[in-house]
Amino acid sequence: MSEADRPAGSIPPILLVGCGRMGSAMLAGWRERGLAPSIAVDPAPDAARMAGPDLAVVANASIIPADFSPAAVVLAVKPQSAAEALPAHARFAGKAVFLSIMAGRTIAGIGGLLGTEAAIVRAMPNTPAAVRQGVTVACPGPGVSVPQRTLCERLLQAIGVVAWADDEAWLDPVTAVSGSGPAYVFLLAELLEQAAVEQGLPAELARLLARQTVAGSGALLAASPDDAAALRRAVTSPAGTTEAALKVLMAPDAWPAALSRAVAAATARSRELAG
């Protein structure tokens, strides 16, 4: 079936390289939209559980049938495994678009492993993709056609919101903010739960309050036209309990400085992974 004949919203044949947490989340999103017969490559024994009528799972690239022609090759392996894993898929260069979600790996670096014909889109999604609430920033490399960019956007929209970067260098701070960001939010919930227990609340109630406060605040932020600062001010009554807490958290040497250092450290690590 040609792309023109494919039903609206369905996903064409994909070669998924890596079935880890993010690869699995993307696969689930594609299946919800209707995935044409595809192939996943992953040597892990438990990867076979993802097989189905729409997906064959193979242990290595040598088992991929010679006549398989994917519209996109999605690179979802760990960045440290790129040099070993990518060259085996170079035969698809010039035919399929390569969509990489490997943190830190540059378009030039990926191209060096796949060959000069490879059309590459580099993207950084985040783990809320597992519930289709992710955000992904993508950057097209040289030679990526408009239809290939459109296809990559469709693949990424299956797991959440998509934005495009004009400058690949943006993807390092993107990785630090949204790629690593869920961990910062989970840490907030973890610490809020611990603090509640310290103040005498039962552990079960502390966990309920922490989790639902973080989840509900995120939902409110997503639904509100106001920015985060305006929502914060709306909760902060003069001389009230929230103001007392924020005087501690917003001290110059507290959250403002710590979060700035954290994002800077993650950005630097993302750049190191390109090496």
Residue 7, pLDDT > 80, answer no
The amino acid at residue 180 is S
2 lies in some domain: no
- Average pLDDT along the chain: 94
Say what percent of the chain tops pLDDT 70. 96
| Residue 98 and residue 114 in contact, taking contact as beta carbons nearer than 8 Å | yes
Nearest 5°: the CA angle 143, 12, 119 is: 15
> End of a domain among 112, 137, 171?
171
7 lies in some domain: no
User: Are residue 153 and residue 191 in the same domain, yes or no?
Assistant: no
Residue 104: band (very low, low, confident or very high) from pLDDT cuts 50, 70, 90: confident
User: Are residue 166 and residue 205 in the same domain, yes or no?
Assistant: no
User: Are residue 158 and residue 254 in the same domain, yes or no?
Assistant: no
248 lies in some domain: yes
Please write the tens of the pLDDT for every residue from 120-139.
999 999 999 999 999 999 99
pLDDT at 1: 41
Q: Which two tokens stand for residue 147?
A: 């239809």
10: three-class secondary structure by DSSP: coil
Residue 6: band (very low, low, confident or very high) from pLDDT cuts 50, 70, 90: very low
- Which parts of 59-211 are beta strand (E)? 72-75, 97-100, 119-124, 134-140, 160-164
- Tokens 């998924």 -> residue: 16
User: Are residue 135 and residue 259 in the same domain, yes or no?
Assistant: no
Q: Which two tokens stand for residue 4?
A: 């023109």
Q: Compute the average pLDDT of residues 136-155.
A: 97
**Lowest model confidence (mean pLDDT) among 20-29, 145-154, 266-275:** 266-275
Residue 163 domain boundaries: 14-171
Residue 5: band (very low, low, confident or very high) from pLDDT cuts 50, 70, 90: very low
8 lies in some domain: no
User: Are residue 61 and residue 167 in the same domain, yes or no?
Assistant: yes
User: Are residue 145 and residue 268 in the same domain, yes or no?
Assistant: no
pLDDT at 114: 97
User: Are residue 58 and residue 86 in the same domain, yes or no?
Assistant: yes
| Crossing angle between the packed helical segments 203-223 and 181-198, to the nearest 10 degrees | 140
Q: Would the CA dihedral through 127, 131, 136, 140 be positive or negative?
A: positive
135: three-class secondary structure by DSSP: strand
Q: Compute the average pLDDT of residues 233-258.
A: 96
5 lies in some domain: no
φ/ψ of 152, rounded to 5, equals -60, -40
Please write the tens of the pLDDT for every residue from 170-226.
999 999 999 999 999 999 999 999 999 999 999 999 999 999 999 999 999 999 999
Structurally, how many domains does the chain consist of? Answer: 2
134 lies in some domain: yes
The amino acid at residue 6 is R
pLDDT at 275: 60
pLDDT at 271: 87
> End of a domain among 171, 202, 237?
171
Nearest Cα neighbor of 71 from 6, 19, 3, 20 is: 3
Nearest Cα neighbor of 160 from 192, 188, 182, 183 is: 182
The Cα 227–Cα 35 span in angstroms is 37
User: Are residue 167 and residue 192 in the same domain, yes or no?
Assistant: no
Residue 274: band (very low, low, confident or very high) from pLDDT cuts 50, 70, 90: confident
114 lies in some domain: yes
Query: Residue 193 maps to which CATH number?
Result: 1.10.3730.10
Nearest Cα neighbor of 139 from 108, 168, 112 is: 168
User: Are residue 155 and residue 188 in the same domain, yes or no?
Assistant: no
Dihedral (Cα; 26, 30, 36, 37), 10-degree rounding: 40
User: Are residue 150 and residue 246 in the same domain, yes or no?
Assistant: no
User: Are residue 29 and residue 115 in the same domain, yes or no?
Assistant: yes
145 lies in some domain: yes
User: Are residue 248 and residue 166 in the same domain, yes or no?
Assistant: no
pLDDT at 10: 86
Q: Which two tokens stand for residue 106?
A: 């540059």
> End of a domain among 153, 171, 189?
171
Residue 229: other Cβ atoms inside 10 A:
8
Query: Residue 103 maps to which CATH number?
Result: 3.40.50.720
